[in-house]
Chain A
Amino acid sequence: DAGVIQSPRHEVTEMGQEVTLRCKPISGHNSLFWYRQTMMRGLELLIYFNNNVPIDDSGMPEDRFSAKMPNASFSTLKIQPSEPRDSAVYFCASSLSGKSGIEQYFGPGTRLTVT
């Protein structure tokens, strides 16, 4: 079975540019999560969707960040304009909500560098 797929795996961009990160969750999973990992703050949730609806976006840093989930098999995280402090590894994860199987499975991550 294919796991969570993220693209690109690496992204280097200049400050001020728009960045779009993409995620395809595991087929059949109904929850999707975006996390960010930095040395300073560790792993933190940015936003999560359940059945394509945003449930908790309290971790989204500011208006420069936006996330969409137009259907059950695709999500994007957009940063516009990007800043050097956005440099981090961004993980997408998916899970099947319910009494069993709530563990989240993570994609390989996108390493973003903003210069």
Chain B
Amino acid sequence: AQKVTQAQTEISVVEKEDVTLDCVYETRDTTYYLFWYKQPPSGELVFLIRRNSFDEQNEISGRYSWNFQKSTSSFNFTITASQVVDSAVYFCALSGPSGGKLIFGQGTELSVKP
């Protein structure tokens, strides 16, 4: 069975702090895909990143970075120098080898205070 666990329900930081959102997944597939989505207070779901199971290279995009470790089945997301606009619920998700159904974690609500 596939499962995604985001153990942190809520995180609160002060602007300019770095913050890491944890994601642990379970799957029996050897090929799979991992995703992060952002849901701001307005409610839409915004795609942030996709990683393939065969590519463990970490990725950086501006203030965002992602650390994928197959050995620990984790796909963590770090925001450097957080800003108020980063306040949102962040979801980690998993899909199988052909894409298709996304299995979402329960989400982590990040609050960045000025």
Residues of chain B contacted by A105 (CB below 8 angstroms): 47
CB 8 Å contact bits of A34-61 with B (1 = contact, 0 = none): 0100000011110010100001100000
Residues of chain B contacted by A106 (CB below 8 angstroms): 37, 44-47
A62 CB → nearest B CB, Å:
19
* Interface contact B101-A102, CB-CB below 8 Å: no
Say yes or no for A17: interface residue by CB 8 A criterion. Answer: no
* Interface contact B101-A45, CB-CB below 8 Å: yes
Residues of chain A contacted by B105 (CB below 8 angstroms): 42
The bracket for how many chain A residues form the interface is 20 to 34
Residues of chain A contacted by B37 (CB below 8 angstroms): 106
B33 CB → nearest A CB, Å:
6
Residue of B91, B98, B99 with most partner-chain A CB within 10 A: B99
Residues of chain B contacted by A93 (CB below 8 angstroms): 45
* Interface contact A91-B99, CB-CB below 8 Å: no
Select from chain B the residue with minimum beta-carbon distance to A47: B101
Select from chain B the residue with minimum beta-carbon distance to A3: B44
* Interface contact A103-B50, CB-CB below 8 Å: yes
Further contacts, 10 of them, CB under 8 A, given A42-B106, A103-B35, A103-B47: A31-B99, A33-B101, A42-B105, A43-B91, A43-B107, A48-B100, A50-B100, A56-B100, A106-B45, A111-B43
Interface residues of A (CB under 8 A from B): 31, 33, 35, 42-45, 48, 50, 55-56, 89, 91, 93, 95, 97, 102-109, 111
